[in-house]
């Protein structure tokens, strides 16, 4: 019985991982740019939720939407104001640019909100669901459902719509896309905006059951990178499956072997998978 | 311009010519985690130490029993003022080490205080020892810090074995009151602090014949703690002792609610559970939580009450125990510095080893300050507090209790 609860917990945690990783994989897949500020985007999303709740009395629907809008703008701005300019530089300068952005966001938050930990009230999105003795945390369940919806939505957008084709065209061959009348800058700004919005939704939802602090992004970002690399660079459904996988493996190994060993198990499996399939589970090379 | 250069040069000459003891300011290094996961506790400690410096540097006759409060500056050093040089170690032992090096070689501080995390104090005090710079620690409790035979390290706070003994006595008292504790679980973060406190608790539990049913180490910057909570739920111990930092402490009480788990007795070993951020964000989920503390605001008009008012004026909230202990560490250092009458390390170390403060001369609930040969304060003491509403109140031992103990742990209910 406990094992079922452990696995349920793992799936819920995995869904949360998948949720905050989808934005990262989109940018990675579309542009081959690693957004090191991703964890801090999640953190900003959490603070937007906190502000809307605290000062405007907004509920989950309001602050999730607000966070999506704010992060869409931040995403577009990150591209037009920063990434576009460093794209012509070396790989190193691209990496350091987003890393710099991460530090600016993190320490600006320290400055504005101080280092205090905050949290939203427990029961904003329901409490705990009891399914025949198996406890399911409602906020995590909602996060999981949204993660799946977001994944399907992004996947559908990329594979079924004209905008998706244009996005993919730009990521495949910028010059050819330009000759076809697509404006690459506009498309890439859109990709950053969409990734930002997804990340904003993730951050706001996570804020309903997690603590909020300026350095929370640091803790979450590493997991996001592992999820995306394991799922396959740029594969949106891959991130969902990898997230669930990592969540379950972490919880099981923590319960069976002890919490200090869970990361050893996860990262050992991660390295092993990449050794056999460098492109990740669902990545195309 | 030329006049300025001449003026500068003569000032410089004057400064160089002066005896060290007549310097107008004395630099003391303060190491704290100002960013990273323990930033909230670190910043609070920093403000408390700054308040300590303010009390020493300016005349505060109303705080008279505290050494150096009534006078401005250090009379023993010609009224010199203390200048704090604050460094951020991010909760990282290696950053702590390099920051200590910077404080000593570039800032040329004459003594150091800090560094909150036991794991960081381990490396920072080792660096200070190598350079022969006095290091006074007010808040790190890992036992081995004073077992290294260092000549420059002094610790004011009670240490892990004192708390472990307190917890055992407290549980024995619960037994006498009809709530026997036979099985115990330990949940601890796996750096110096957690492992050291867990070690001593384990030893004492064995001595008292308690059955340790769960012994769980975990990493404090983890993303999830459900498996630990499920483990506890499965083993059903009579009491659980948590040794955690802030972010993990918050995750524990949130996860315990999500998984509907309430141990009959929940004891928190200070640190994260004493962080004001934990109290403001999670008090409503941790009703009846036991914790240790050596800080009490006291009655209106008392010295501690006034100190708390001063802290409140700066931050808008009450002083907490870890920050109070950090401040006490600094005040002990300042008092020794004044008695040394010199900024030479040897003189300061000699003065520190001769420290002899009574219970009225300290702001924390210690019986005083007196160091043994290892540099440990032998008069340090602590008592137990319990979360009630949105604050902790003293409940044990009975003679210092403000309220009777509430049993069992209620959590969010």
B214-243, pLDDT tens digit by residue? 999 999 988 899 999 999 999 999 999 999
Does residue B409 belong to any structural domain of this protein? Answer: no
Backbone angles phi, psi at B408, to 5 degrees: -85, -175
Q: Do B34 and A9 touch (CB under 8 A)?
A: no
Distance from CA of B221 to the nearest CA of A (A): 7
Distance from CA of A15 to the nearest CA of B (A): 13
**Rounded percentage of chain B residues whose pLDDT exceeds 90:** 85
What percentage of residues in chain A have a pLDDT greater than 90? Answer: 46
Give yes or no for A263 touching B (CB within 8 A): yes
Determine the distance in angstroms separating the CA of B234 from the nearest CA of chain A, rounded to an integer: 8
Across the interface, whether the CB atoms of B230 and A2 are under 8 A apart is answered: yes
**Is the CA virtual torsion A167, A173, A174, A180 positive or negative?**
negative
On whether both B310 and B234 belong to a single domain, the answer is no
Do residue B234 and residue A210 have CB atoms under 8 angstroms apart? no
The answer to whether residue A114 neighbours chain B at the CB level (below 8 Å) is yes
Determine how many CB atoms are found less than 10 A away from the CB of residue A222.
14
Question: pLDDT higher for B396 or B330?
Answer: B330
Q: Which of B219, B260, B281 sits opposite A135 (nearest CB)?
A: B260
Same domain, B191 and B323: no
Closest Cα partner for B340 from B11, B28, B17, B12?
B28
Confidence of residue B210 (pLDDT cuts 50, 70, 90): very high
Q: In this structure, what token pair is assigned to residue A112?
A: 């504005």
Instruction: Supply φ then ψ for residue B88, to 5 degrees.
Output: -100, 125
Give A-chain residues touching B218 at CB under 8 angstroms. Answer: 254, 258-260
Rounded CA-CA distance B241/B170 in Å is 12
Architecture, CATH, for domain A2-276: Orthogonal Bundle (1.10)
Res. B19: pLDDT tops 90: no
| Domain hosting residue B58, numbered range | 21-158+299-361
- For A220-240, the pLDDT digits (tens) are 888 888 898 898 877 888 888
pLDDT (average), residues A152-161: 88
Shortest CB distance from B227 goes to which of A107, A128, A255? Answer: A255
Identify the band that residue A283 occupies on the pLDDT scale cut at 50, 70 and 90.
confident
**Chain A interface, mutation test: which of B226, B272, B276, most A Cβ atoms within 10 Å?**
B226
**B144 inside domain:** yes
Q: Is A143 an interface residue toward B (CB < 8 Å)? A: no
Judge if B131 and B148 occupy the same domain: yes
ipTM summary value? 0.88
pLDDT of B267: 96
Tell whether A119 lies on the interface with B, counting CB pairs under 8 A: yes
pLDDT at position A274, please? 86
CB pair distance less than 8 Å for A119 and B257 = no
pLDDT at B58: 95
Residues from chain A that touch B280, judged by Cβ atoms under 8 A, are 116
B327 and B388 assigned to the same domain: no
Looking at the partner chain, which of A119, A128, A259 has a beta carbon nearest the beta carbon of B227?
Answer: A259
Give B248 or A219, the one with higher predicted confidence.
Answer: B248
Summarize pLDDT for A177-203 with one digit per residue, the tens: 889 888 988 998 999 999 999 999 999
**Angle formed by the axes of helices A184-206 and A138-160, to 10°?**
170
Taking alpha carbons only, the member of B175, B236, B184 closest to residue B205 is B184
- Of B200, B242, B31, B216, the C-alpha closest to B117 is B31
For residue A223, the chain B residues in CB contact (below 8 A) are: 223
Residues B329 and B278 grouped into a single domain: no
Which residues of chain A neighbour B219 with C-beta distances below 8 Å? 259-260, 263
Distance in Å, alpha carbon of B43 to nearest chain A alpha carbon: 7
Say yes or no to pLDDT of B144 above 70: yes
Count of domains for chain B: 2
Query: A9 — contact with chain B (CB < 8 Å)?
Result: yes
The token pair at B340 is 């040394």
Residue B12 has pLDDT above 50, yes or no: no
Please tell me which of the candidates A9, A114, A259 has its beta carbon nearest to residue B218: A259
Same domain, B68 and B87: yes
pLDDT at A11 over 90: yes
pLDDT at B383: 87
Based on DSSP, count helices (H) and strands (E) in chain B, helices before strands. 12, 12
CA distance A266 to chain B (A): 13
Give the A window 156-185 contacts with B, CB below 8 Å: none
Query: Between chains, do B227 and A6 touch, taking CB under 8 Å as contact?
Result: yes
Q: Are B252 and B242 in contact (CB under 8 A)?
A: yes
pLDDT > 70? residue A253: yes
For an interface test with A, give the residue of B245, B250, B258 to mutate (most A CBs within 10 A).
Answer: B258
**How confident is the model at residue A285, as a pLDDT?**
55
- What stretches of A57-183 show up as alpha helix (H) in DSSP? 60-78, 84-86, 91-113, 138-160, 162-172, 174-179
Which residue among A130, A135, A260 places its CB closest to the CB of B217?
A: A260
Contact B224 A251 (CB under 8 A): yes
Q: Are residues B153 and B171 in the same domain?
A: no
| Residue numbers in B near A250 (CB within 8 A) | 224
Does B166 lie in the same domain as B28?
no
Q: Report strand pairing: A128-131 vs B239-243.
A: unpaired
In a domain, B327, yes or no: yes
Question: Is residue B219 in some structural domain?
Answer: yes
Query: B190 and B52 in one domain?
Result: no
Q: Nearest-CA distance from A209 to chain B in Å?
A: 7
Q: Are the beta carbons of A263 and B219 separated by less than 8 Å? A: yes
With tokens 């003679």, the residue in question is B399
pLDDT tops 60 at residue B4: no
B42/A258 Cβ within 8 A:
no
Residues of B in contact with A110 (CB under 8 A): 35, 39
Q: Which residues of A touch B282 (CB under 8 A)?
A: 119
| Residue of chain B with shortest Cα separation from A224 | B223
SS3 of B65, please? Answer: coil
User: Could you say which of B39, B216, B250 has the minimum Cβ distance to residue A119?
Assistant: B250
Check B223 against A13: CB less than 8 A apart. Answer: yes
Q: How confident is the model at residue B3 (pLDDT cuts 50, 70, 90)?
A: low
Residue B203 pLDDT greater than 80, yes or no: yes
Domain-located, residue B411 = no
Q: Verify that B242 and B389 share a domain, yes or no.
A: yes
Out of A9, A215, A223, whose CB is closest to B37?
A215
B271 and B241 within one domain? yes
The radius of gyration computed from the CA coordinates of chain B, to the nearest angstrom, equals 22
CATH of the domain at B138: 3.40.50.2300
Structure tokens at B366: 């210690």
Which residues of chain B make contact with A9, given a CB cutoff of 8 A?
A: 224, 226-227, 230, 259
- Comparing CB atoms, the residue among A135, A211, A215 nearest residue B36 is A215
Does B5 fall in a domain? no
**Whether residues B202 and B73 fall in one domain:** no
Residue B377 forms part of a structural domain: no
Q: Are A137 and A148 in contact (CB under 8 A)?
A: no
Of A31-35, B307-311, B333-337, the one with minimum mean pLDDT is A31-35
pLDDT surpasses 90 at A132: no
Whether B39 sits inside 8 A of A215 (CB atoms) is yes
State residue B1's pLDDT score: 46
Name the CA radius of gyration of chain A, rounded: 19
- The closest CB to that of A259, out of B222, B246, B254, belongs to B222
């Amino acid at each position: 019985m406990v094992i079922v609860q452990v696995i349920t917990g793992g799936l819920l945690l995995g869904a949360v991982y998948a949720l905050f990783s989808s934005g990262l994989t989109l940018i990675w897949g579309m542009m081959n740019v690693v957004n090191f500020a991703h964890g801090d985007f999640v953190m900003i999303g959490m603070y937007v939720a906190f502000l809307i709740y605290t000062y405007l009395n907004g509920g989950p629907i309001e602050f999730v939407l607000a966070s999506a809008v704010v992060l869409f703008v931040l995403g577009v701005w990150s591209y037009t104001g920063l990434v576009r300019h460093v794209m012509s530089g070396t790989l190193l300068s691209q990496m350091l640019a987003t890393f710099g952005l991460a530090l600016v966001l993190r320490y600006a938050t320290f400055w504005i909100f101080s280092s205090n930990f905050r949290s939203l009230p427990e029961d904003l999105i329901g409490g705990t669901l009891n399914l025949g003795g198996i406890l399911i945390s409602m906020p995590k369940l909602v996060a999981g459902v949204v993660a799946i919806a977001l994944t399907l939505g992004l996947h559908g957008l990329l594979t079924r719509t004209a905008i998706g084709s244009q996005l993919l065209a730009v990521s495949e061959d910028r010059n050819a896309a330009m000759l076809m009348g697509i404006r690459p800058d506009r498309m890439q700004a859109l990709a950053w905006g969409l990734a930002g919005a997804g990340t904003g939704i993730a951050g706001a939802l996570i804020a309903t059951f997690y603590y909020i602090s300026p350095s929370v992004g640091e803790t979450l970002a590493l997991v996001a990178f592992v999820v995306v690399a394991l799922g396959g660079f740029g594969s949106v459904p891959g991130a969902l499956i990898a997230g669930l996988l990592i969540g379950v493996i972490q919880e099981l190994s923590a319960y069976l072997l002890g919490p200090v060993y869970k990361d050893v198990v996860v990262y050992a499996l991660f390295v092993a998978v990449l050794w056999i399939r460098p492109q990740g589970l669902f990545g195309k090379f | 311009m030329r006049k300025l250069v001449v003026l500068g040069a003569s000032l410089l000459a004057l400064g160089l010519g002066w005896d060290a003891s007549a310097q107008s300011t004395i630099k003391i290094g303060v190491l704290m985690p100002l960013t990273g996961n323990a930033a909230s506790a670190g910043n609070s400690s920093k403000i408390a130490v700054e308040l300590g410096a303010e009390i020493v540097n300016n005349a505060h006759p109303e705080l008279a029993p505290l050494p150096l409060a009534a006078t401005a500056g250090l009379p023993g050093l010609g009224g010199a003022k203390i200048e704090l040089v604050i460094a951020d170690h991010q909760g990282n032992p290696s950053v702590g080490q390099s920051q200590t090096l910077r404080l000593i070689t570039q800032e040329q501080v004459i003594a150091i205080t800090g560094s909150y995390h036991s794991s960081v104090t381990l490396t920072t005090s080792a660096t200070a020892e190598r350079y022969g710079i006095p290091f006074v620690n007010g808040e790190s409790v890992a036992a081995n810090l004073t077992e290294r035979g260092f000549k420059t390290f002094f610790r004011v706070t009670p240490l892990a074995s004192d708390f472990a003994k307190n917890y055992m006595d407290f549980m024995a008292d619960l037994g006498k009151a009809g709530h026997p504790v036979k099985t115990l679980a330990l949940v601890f973060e796996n750096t110096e602090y957690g492992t050291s406190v867990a070690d001593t608790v384990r030893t004492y539990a064995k001595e008292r014949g308690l059955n340790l049913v769960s012994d769980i180490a975990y990493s404090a910057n983890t993303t999830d703690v459900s498996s630990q909570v499920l483990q506890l739920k499965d083993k059903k111990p009579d009491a659980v002792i948590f040794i955690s930092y802030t972010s993990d402490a918050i995750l524990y009480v949130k996860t315990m609610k999500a998984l509907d788990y309430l141990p009959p007795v929940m004891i928190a070993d200070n640190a994260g559970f004493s962080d004001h951020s934990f109290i403001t964000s999670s008090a409503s989920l941790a009703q009846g939580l036991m914790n240790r503390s050596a800080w009490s605001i006291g009655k209106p008009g008392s010295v501690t009450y006034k100190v708390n008012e001063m802290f409140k004026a700066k931050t808008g909230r009450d002083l907490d125990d870890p920050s109070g202990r950090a401040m006490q560490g600094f005040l002990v250092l300042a008092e020794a510095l004044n008695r040394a009458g010199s900024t030479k390390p040897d003189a300061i170390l000699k003065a520190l080893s001769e420290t002899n403060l009574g219970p009225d001369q300290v702001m924390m609930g210690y019986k005083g300050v007196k160091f043994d040969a290892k540099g440990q304060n032998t008069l340090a003491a602590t008592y137990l507090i319990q979360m009630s509403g949105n604050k902790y109140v003293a409940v044990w031992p009975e003679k210092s209790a403000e309220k009777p103990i509430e049993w069992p742990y209620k959590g969010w209910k």
